[in-house]
Homo-oligomer: A and B are copies of this chain.
Amino acid sequence: MIKTIVLKSRPEGKPSISDFEFLEDDAELSIKDGELLLETTYVSVDPYLRGRMSDAKSYTPPFQLNKPIHSGVIAKVLESKNKKFEAGDYVSGMLDWKTKQISTGEGLLKVDASKAPLSAYLGILGMTGLTAYTGLTQIGKPKAGETLVVSGAAGAVGSVVGQIGKILGLRVIGIAGSDEKVELLKTKFGFDAGINYNTTENMTAAIAEAAPNGVDIYYDNVGGPISDAVFFNINQFARLVICGSISVYNNTEIPKSISVQPFLIKNSALMQGFIVSNYEVIFPEAMKHLSTWLAEDKLTYTETIVQGFDNIPNAFMDLFEGKNKGKMVVKM
């Protein structure tokens, strides 16, 4: 029996379980030449999926109603009529929320279970790690000795950004929302300094103190007032990597911030938004570095693993309650 999760209705505000529908199907799946039969092993749930559940105009089409949702998935090849893969291989790719499915192999990458836990290929060796690596290197263009500030620093992407920053010789300052998280940044992830935005009255001054030479790179996962405070501390030719804006995602009115333009002009600074798929051409380079650093224990990560296909929607919804630590994945 094959289970599928489809989008039943577009969430209004916070998603609820009634927005999802479980389907079951007894049909036999048989593959044609060039195809693969896949069995899902791990499913990645990520905040960005919320955007695709809405039908607002965007560069990616929204999920269709009554069609399977898809996200990053690790699957086992049960059967192959495609020369690039054989039965027993594990692959990662954007796949449907189904227990079993057929693929042409397009967009799938083989993953090596002997080199890292399979779930890592959805996190530090998957989209999370690639997002951190590509944003920091391709937009941030770090030079050893520079200062990097990371917001959402204890999150899945932020914690990897900070660690890569240290590997590349930067002074790294993380901004997070609790003393426990700030402690984690310094002890587990090797950040030079951390700032708890919930207990810091003057963020501009706190950043200035933590970054006595000013801020050369800002890797932004949150937007809002935290980012405003960073602008007062940027250096000439600063690069601002705009990865996420979670602090304003739930606003119902267009949020206001300081006018960034005068800061950009005064400092000849660059600000660039991105999604990881813009940088597919450097994924091989990124994967090589990430897997080497992981093997050398220069990178570490946390993940929250939820058990059971039926729990995918709950795991997804828990992201918005902050119930995850690091990367959230669902194991079959």
Nearest-neighbour CB distance to chain B for A15, whole angstroms, equals 17
B255 and A257: CB pair below 8 A? no
B278 and A273: CB pair below 8 A? no
A58 and B266: CB pair below 8 A? yes
A223 and B273: CB pair below 8 A? no
B274 and A271: CB pair below 8 A? no
Nearest neighbor of A243 in chain B, beta-carbon distance: B265
Nearest-neighbour CB distance to chain B for A229, whole angstroms, equals 11
Q: Which residues of B contact A261 (CB under 8 A)?
A: 220, 223, 227, 242, 245, 248, 257, 273
A271 and B268: CB pair below 8 A? no
B273 and A272: CB pair below 8 A? no
Q: Which residues of B contact A242 (CB under 8 A)?
A: 261, 264-265
Nearest-neighbour CB distance to chain B for A124, whole angstroms, equals 22
Interface string of A55-81 (1 = CB under 8 A from B): 010110000000000000000000000
| Chain A, range 121-180, C-beta contacts under 8 Å to B | none
A270 and B271: CB pair below 8 A? yes
A275 at the interface (CB under 8 A from B): yes
A263 to B244 Cα, complex, angstroms: 11
Nearest neighbor of A272 in chain B, beta-carbon distance: B270
A311 at the interface (CB under 8 A from B): no
Q: Which residues of B contact A249 (CB under 8 A)?
A: 262
A269 at the interface (CB under 8 A from B): yes
A85 to B174 Cα, complex, angstroms: 55
B258 and A264: CB pair below 8 A? no
A275 and B268: CB pair below 8 A? yes
A266 and B51: CB pair below 8 A? yes
A262 and B245: CB pair below 8 A? yes
A281 at the interface (CB under 8 A from B): no
Nearest-neighbour CB distance to chain B for A168, whole angstroms, equals 22
Q: A59-B268, A255-B259 are in contact. List 19 more A-B contacts (CB 8 A).
A: A58-B266, A223-B261, A227-B261, A242-B261, A244-B265, A245-B262, A245-B265, A254-B258, A256-B258, A256-B259, A257-B257, A257-B259, A264-B271, A264-B272, A265-B274, A266-B273, A267-B273, A268-B272, A268-B275
Could you list 15 A-B pairs, sorted by A, with CB under 8 Å? A51-B266, A59-B236, A223-B262, A245-B262, A245-B265, A256-B258, A257-B259, A257-B260, A264-B271, A264-B272, A265-B275, A267-B273, A269-B273, A270-B271, A271-B271
The 3 closest A-B pairs by CB, nearest first: A264-B273, A265-B273, A223-B261
